[in-house]
Structure 1
Amino acid sequence: MNPDARTEKQLDVFMEPAPEAGALKLRPFSAGTLTLCRKLGLTMILGSADDKAALSDEEKQRQITTFLFIQSAPIETVKKAAKLAREDRTAFEDQYLLDFELNLPVGAMARAVEQLAAGIEMVGAAQFETVPREESPGGRQESPPPNS
């Protein structure tokens, strides 16, 4: 993907109106969503095709449900749940995810999976990697601070 097309896709990801998955109204994908997906290891959302293929059906469902929870539950609830998930995954699933799943219609989950499949390319475009600078022959030269 050329840099201009990538920038356009990144802007689309963050500026799209909130989608809906069945009865769920999802928040637009944000930098916070990206951070939580990384911290919670949601390879269904951010992983490679090989990562996704290696997941069991149960793990795929858990990751999709977790993503839907992150994108639709009240933000304060998501913040508390994410903290607990990093400390104790089982407690997170028992205290937050199970209640959410019990109220999640299967049809909504199926529609969400379809939306995710369509949007995965945009999620990938929203990610970025830092590339280390090449060292000059005389050693590393410091750059002036940005915006100076």
Structure 2
Amino acid sequence: MPMFNNLTDLDFFAGSSVCLDCVGLLRILQKSPCLKTMKFFQGITLSKEYENDDWILESLPPYFLSHLKWIEVGSYNEDGEDLSALKILLKNTVVLEEIVIFCLDHFEGDLWKLANLYKQLIEIPKGSQKCKIVLK
């Protein structure tokens, strides 16, 4: 597989959420040394068998985790798979400046659900101490 040395922005417009432990995704990330932003328009998940495995991103070169500055996640669902994927990203990205999460319509108007999600996210140990979490 070739290197994607000029790839700085990666957008996923898949018809469904992207699975963080997908071999194809991990291969692309391994070959993208300058990646600064990622957008998951239909959300991001993690297979149930990997929910507690932080090692999923260990196969990525150190430059990946030290260049990624911005992540956008659309169609966030409140199931455990989405939160598990976010935990792994937040724990392992060391220069992440901002993660923007678009909540599904069933969050709309429910401040308790939004506050609970925000509380869960800020309690996650983060690789980047300056990471801003934005819920929309």
Relative to the length of structure 2, the TM-score reads 0.28
Task: Indicate the structure with greater helix content.
Answer: 1
Task: For CA contacts below 8 A with separation 6 or more, give which structure has more relative contact order.
Answer: 1
Higher Cα radius of gyration: 1
Task: Indicate the structure with greater strand content.
Answer: 2
